[in-house]
Structure 1
Amino acid sequence: MKKINVIILIIIVITICGFALRGKISGEKFDSEKWKTADLASENNWSLRWDMVNSLRNNNNLIGMSKSEVINLLGKPTESFTTENTFRYYLGYSHTGINTGSLVLTFSNGIVSEISVLEG
């Protein structure tokens, strides 16, 4: 009887984790051209960059890249939120209601030193 309880508990935990992570993990592979040309105003692309950001971070060594290498990979950053030491890229909708996201790259001496993803 105890084995059945343990199995039921495991199934419940897996189900809860599945619902909690639903929509937050995307399998969209990063594609530099799609990223740069995405029309985020189009309903079909609202979350395209958001869906690619995990692949981007996991498969591209952004830390250590120069500004020109980043621009070559991601295109020009969103001008209104970019400073001399930070590039900010609008990600679109985050699959959690109406929240949007941004990828922020922080530079030190012209080299990426920190990566963060903001939601809200």
Structure 2
Amino acid sequence: MKKSYKILITVIVIISLSLFFKGRISGQKFDSEKWKYSNLNSEENWNLRWSMMNSLRNNYELKGKTKSEIIGLLGKPDAEVRNEMSYSLGYTGFGINTGTLIIRLDENGIVENLNVHQG
């Protein structure tokens, strides 16, 4: 009985730590120059931006930044429609899924929201 209790506690601790750190552990530290200038068509860079995404979200407050500040940090968006800028994140590491970062600006050109899509 004592041994099964220790196993149960260990499992609970592991699950709790996994939930706590979910989204906080990044595959690669965000690097503005790599984000902007790496050849994303090169096989070695197919998931470069995706692997930097958690570091970007956790270490840079994008909400409240101006459009020009975002472009300075991330470069020219891959697409821009009305008040949204989108950046391709490449392959997500989950099969052939790709990711996209969508940044929504308010009427003054200030970031009000951002979303990461996978699909």
Please confirm whether the aligned pair reaches a TM-score higher than 0.5, indicating the same fold.
yes
**Match for residue 5 of structure 1?**
4
Tell me the percent identity.
Answer: 53
User: Aligned AA for 1:113?
Assistant: E
**Match for residue 115 of structure 2?**
116
SS in 2 for 1:90: strand
User: Aligned AA for 2:83?
Assistant: N
List runs of 5+ in structure 2 lacking aligned partners.
Answer: none
TM-score by length of 2: 0.83
| 1:80-112 C-alpha deviation (Å, 9 max, x unpaired) | xx2120010000000111100000100002100
| 1:41-63 C-alpha deviation (Å, 9 max, x unpaired) | 11111111001111111111100
User: Aligned AA for 2:95?
Assistant: G
**Match for residue 93 of structure 1?**
91
The size of the alignment, in residue pairs, is: 112
**Match for residue 104 of structure 2?**
106
RMSD: 2.2
User: Aligned AA for 1:114?
Assistant: N
Deviation (angstroms), 1:8: 2.2
Distance 1:52 1:9, change over 3 A: same
List runs of 5+ in structure 1 lacking aligned partners.
Answer: none
